[in-house]
């Protein structure tokens, strides 16, 4: 709805009048459709239709559907290191709360879109599981546990990942109520302490 053209006219050929960059329009449309349908479910034609251009533009501007997916979804919209810095900035005993608050806030801002897109494409696309692992484990949670002076840093990191990913699944993908609609403070109060135990508590 955001970028579609409602015209059904015979649509004359040739270069566009000017202004809007088709490459950017395609990226937006692709992100939207990939989020809603996953990699295989999102067809090149449906993406092009939502962008209001011909399907051939995908190959012209991105070479392949594969590459469009990488550009639109796989490429992280922010730097993990600044996120880690923000999560480590504050009292160590409240790190769990900060993790819960930051992820919930960030994902809520986009309706959970990018998260859902990646999860929904975890089968279709070979690299998606690796991207997930690289981001959650290596770039974020391993960095945090390593900065906390605790034992079993890898296990603690994967446990945190399990809770954060599970929260994302329930809140944005399968949408279990009331967690799906709970406000951020409720989520932080519920999930934060459990994350804190994974980080610094006794895990057996």
Partner DNA sequence: CACAGATTTCATCACTTGTTGAAAATTAGC
Partner DNA sequence: GCTAATTTTCAACAAGTGATGAAATCTGTG
* Positions that interact with a second copy (CB under 8 A): 37-38, 40-41, 119-120, 122-124, 129, 132-133, 136-137, 154-155, 158-159, 161-167, 169-171, 173-180, 182, 185-186, 188-191, 193-194, 197-198, 203-204
Nearer to DNA, 36 or 182 (CB): 36
Least distance in Å: CB of 174 to a second copy? Answer: 5
Minimum CB–partner distance for residue 65 and DNA (Å)? 4
189 binds, among a second copy, DNA, none (CB under 5 to 8 A by kind): a second copy
Choose from DNA, a second copy, none: what does 115 bind? Cβ within 5-8 Å by kind.
none
Q: Are 198 and 156 in contact (CB under 8 A)?
A: yes
| Calculated CA dihedral for residues 190, 192, 194, 200, nearest 10 degrees | -160
Q: Would you state the structure tokens that stand for residue 143, as one six-digit string?
A: 């960095």
Contact 63, 47 (CB under 8 A): no
Tell me which of DNA, a second copy, none is bound by residue 132, counting a contact when its beta carbon lies within the kind-specific cut-off of 5 to 8 angstroms. a second copy
Cα distances (angstroms) measured from residue 14 to each of 1, 11, 18, 98: 24, 10, 11, 52
Determine which helix (DSSP H) or strand (DSSP E) holds 18, and give its type and residue range.
none
Residues at the site binding DNA, with contacts judged by CB under 7 A: 10-18, 22, 42-46, 52-61, 63-66
Query: If 0-12 CB within 10 Å is exposed, 13-18 middle and 19+ buried, where does residue 90 land?
Result: exposed
Distance from C-alpha of 114 to C-alpha of 166, rounded to nearest angstrom:
15
197 binds, among a second copy, DNA, none (CB under 5 to 8 A by kind): a second copy
Q: Which is nearer to DNA, 64 or 186 (CB)?
A: 64
């Amino acid at each position: 709805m955001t970028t579609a053209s409602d015209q059904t006219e015979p649509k004359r050929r040739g270069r566009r009048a000017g202004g809007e960059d088709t490459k950017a329009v395609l990226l937006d449309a692709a992100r939207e459709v990939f989020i809603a349908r996953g990699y295989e479910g999102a067809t090149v034609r449906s993406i092009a239709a939502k962008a209001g251009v011909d399907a051939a533009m995908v190959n012209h501007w991105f070479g392949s559907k594969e590459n469009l997916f990488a550009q639109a979804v796989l490429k992280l919209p922010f730097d993990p290191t600044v996120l880690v810095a923000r999560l480590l900035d504050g009292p160590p005993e409240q790190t769990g709360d900060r993790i819960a608050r930051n992820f919930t806030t960030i994902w809520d801002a986009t309706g959970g879109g990018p998260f859902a897109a990646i999860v929904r494409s975890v089968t279709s696309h070979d690299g998606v599981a690796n991207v997930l692992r690289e981001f959650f484990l290596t770039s974020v949670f391993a960095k945090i546990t390593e900065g906390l002076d605790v034992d079993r840093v890898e296990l603690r990191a994967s446990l945190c990942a399990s809770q954060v990913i599970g929260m994302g699944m329930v809140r944005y993908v399968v949408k279990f109520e009331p967690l799906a609609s709970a406000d951020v403070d409720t989520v932080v109060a519920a999930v934060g302490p459990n994350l804190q135990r994974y980080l610094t508590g006794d895990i057996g």
